[in-house]
């Protein structure tokens, strides 16, 4: 059988195949492709992409119900449009990397190697020939002999791989690449992106397609100290419900500080929130996912307009011995935290007999203690919110709005990605608002 790639003319412009992706395209990328760098091989790859990779991606879109975004890496690392920072970012954060290393394209192999080291995510090396050359590293996965007689089989394999990667948030952690497992101490994470300190958050509003009137679910990224007019703040706490010190740069420390009364010299006169926790919530150790409400005082009540604080056990004690420490919960416990907070608020509203607690702001849970689980955990939070309000109990909820609060550019990207991947949510028209 003739190779269809050999029948194409040579007078094409390389830019016909690849364009330089924008910042938004990079942030939303689910799949990053690394094509060969030599033009003739690049042209063959893109013909193969049209025949095999694109149909596999389209089939995975149908399988998952998600809009899968694809970015080609090469324009980011070649002149005149080189942008290595964006190249490293997309290599790190895409769900799947597919690299064509046919004829041992050393530049493609080099960037594929970066992917294996930078990220625990899935990666596949594609060889469209019977190349038997020994590769310079242990590939995570490899598809060989992807020539026309085998393209249907290769396409089916890629479809399964893409579908698995897009569903990984529902199935737990992806299998780390062997290089990443061995060199995790050298790996890169993007959690240290610019912070929104001193910046009041904007609220980007979404709604449930099946419940278009209420509740609203929003993305908010900024400094929680400048949040105004939201009834309930959620405080991710440890399983011993021990609040952080009042000057700690954490949600717990901020809530404790803002709820306290202070003498003019900066000395605390009433540690209101700590007293509320001791009086209203269980002593000793609680189970992960426990949630309880307390009142609030100080500036938190008078200036921020908060009516109640929902304390949730989102950080678990790792042991009973000295120095055992804490770790953030993940997976099902993330969902439990979200669900129990909403249940407690609805319970309070029923007991009061009126809609006293209508809006909630919820910081991200499990996004900093384990950077590589951040995307999975944020996805769990979004699904838990949606599923609660679509459940029988959620249908009678008096909560009118919930916002997920991030603090960095990377938080915003991950929340937006989780919202975009849930087909039950749609963005409300218009620009951002100042509150829910």
The tens-digit pLDDT sequence of the chain (436 residues) is: 445 555 444 445 555 668 888 888 888 899 999 999 888 888 888 888 999 999 999 999 999 888 899 999 999 988 677 888 888 888 888 889 999 888 778 889 889 888 887 777 788 888 877 655 554 444 445 565 555 667 888 889 899 989 988 886 554 445 556 566 666 555 555 555 677 888 999 999 999 999 888 899 999 999 999 999 999 999 999 999 999 888 888 899 999 999 988 766 666 677 889 999 999 999 888 999 999 999 999 999 999 999 999 999 999 888 788 887 788 888 889 999 999 999 999 999 988 766 689 999 999 987 765 556 788 889 899 999 999 999 999 999 999 999 999 998 888 888 988 898 888 999 998 888 988 8
- pTM of structure: 0.75
Q: Where are the domains of the chain?
A: 4-186, 202-427
User: So what's the pLDDT on residue 339?
Assistant: 97
Written in H, E and C, the secondary structure of the chain is: CCCHHHHCCCCCCHHHCCCCCCHHHHHCCCEEEECCCCHHHHHHHHHHHHHHHHHHHHHHHHHHCCCCCEEECHHHCCCCCCCHHHHHHHHHHCCEEEEECHHHCHHHHHHHHHHHHHCCCEEEEECCCCCCCCCCCCCCCEECCCCHHHHHHHHHHHHHHHHHHHCHHHHCCCCCCHHHHHCHHHCCCCCCCCECCCCCCEEEEEEECCEEEEEEEEEEECCHHHCCCCCEEEEEEECCCCCCCCCCCCHHHHHHHHHCEECCCCCEEECHHHHHHHHHCCCCCCCCCCEEEECCCHHHHHCCCCCEEEEEEEEEECCCCCCCCEEECCCHHHHHHHHHHHHHHHHHHHHHCCCCCCEEEEECCCCCCCHHHHHHHHHHHHHHHHHHHHCHHHHCCCCCEEEEEECEHHHHHHHHHHHHHCCCEEECCCCCECCC
- In the CATH scheme, what is the code of domain 4-186? 3.40.50
Domain 202-427 has CATH 3.40.220.10: yes
């Amino acid at each position: 059988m003739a190779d269809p790639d050999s029948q194409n003319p040579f007078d094409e412009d390389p830019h016909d195949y690849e364009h330089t992706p924008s910042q938004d395209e990079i942030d939303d990328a689910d799949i990053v492709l690394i094509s060969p760098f030599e033009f003739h091989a690049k042209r063959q790859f893109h013909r193969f992409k049209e025949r095999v990779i694109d149909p596999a991606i389209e089939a995975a879109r149908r399988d998952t119900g998600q809009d899968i975004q694809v970015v080609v890496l090469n324009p980011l690392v070649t002149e005149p449009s080189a942008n290595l920072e964006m190249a490293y970012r997309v290599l790190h954060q895409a769900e799947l990397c597919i690299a064509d290393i046919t004829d041992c394209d050393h530049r493609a192999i080099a960037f594929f190697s970066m992917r294996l080291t930078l990220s625990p995510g899935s990666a596949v090396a594609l060889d469209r020939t019977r190349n038997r050359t020994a590769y310079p590293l242990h590939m995570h996965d490899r598809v060989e002999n992807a020539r026309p007689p085998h393209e249907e089989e290769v396409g089916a394999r890629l479809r399964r791989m893409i579908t698995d990667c897009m569903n990984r948030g529902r199935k737990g952690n992806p299998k780390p690449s062997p290089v990443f497992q061995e060199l995790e101490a050298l790996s890169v994470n993007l959690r240290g992106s610019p912070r929104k300190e001193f910046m009041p958050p904007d609220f980007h509003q979404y709604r449930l397609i099946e419940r278009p009137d209420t509740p609203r679910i929003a993305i908010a990224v900024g400094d929680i100290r400048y949040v105004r007019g939201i009834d309930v703040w959620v405080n991710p706490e440890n399983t011993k419900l021990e609040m952080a010190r009042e000057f700690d740069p954490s949600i717990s420390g901020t809530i404790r500080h803002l709820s306290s009364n202070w003498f003019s010299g900066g000395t605390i006169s009433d540690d209101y929130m700590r007293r509320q926790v001791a009086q209203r919530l269980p002593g000793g150790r609680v189970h992960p996912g426990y949630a309880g409400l307390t009142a609030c005082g100080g500036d938190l009540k008078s200036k921020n307009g908060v009516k109640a604080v929902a304390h949730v056990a989102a950080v678990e004690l790792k042991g009973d011995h000295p120095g055992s420490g804490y770790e953030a919960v993940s997976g099902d416990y993330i969902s439990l935290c979200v669900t129990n907070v909403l249940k407690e608020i609805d319970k309070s509203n029923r007991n009061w007999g009126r809609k006293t607690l209508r809006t909630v702001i919820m910081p991200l849970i499990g996004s900093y203690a384990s950077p590589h689980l951040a995307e999975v955990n944020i996805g769990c939070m979004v699904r838990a919110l949606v599923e609660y309000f679509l459940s029988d109990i959620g249908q009678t909820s008096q909560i009118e709005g919930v916002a997920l609060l991030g603090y960095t550019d990377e938080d915003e990207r991950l929340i937006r990605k989780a919202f975009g991947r849930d087909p039950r949510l749609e963005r409300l028209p218009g620009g951002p608002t100042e509150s829910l």
